[in-house]
Amino acid sequence: MHEMSLALNIIELAEQAARDANATSITAIEIDVGEIAGVMLDALEFSLSVATRSTLAEEAKLTLHLIPGSAKCKDCGRTFHLSERWAVCPLCGGLSFDILAGKELTIKSIDIE
The verdict on 89 binding Zn ion (CB under 5 A) reads yes
Considering only 50, 91, 95, 100, the residue that binds Zn ion (CB under 5 A) is 91
| 84: exposed, middle or buried (Cβ count in 10 Å: 0-12, 13-18, 19+) | exposed
Is residue 41 a contact point for Zn ion (CB under 5 A)? Answer: no
Give ∠ CA 26-27-33 in degrees, rounded to 5. Answer: 85
Q: Does 92 bind Zn ion (CB under 5 A)?
A: yes
Work out whether 31 is an interface residue with Zn ion (CB under 5 A).
Answer: no
Distance CA 34, CA 65 (A): 8
Interactions with Zn ion, residue window 46-85 (CB under 5 A): 73, 75-76
| CA–CA gap between residue 28 and residue 62 (Å, rounded) | 6
Nearer to Zn ion, 41 or 101 (CB): 101
Give the binding-site size for Zn ion (rule: CB under 5 A): 7
Which residue, 1 or 92, is less far from Zn ion as judged by CB?
92
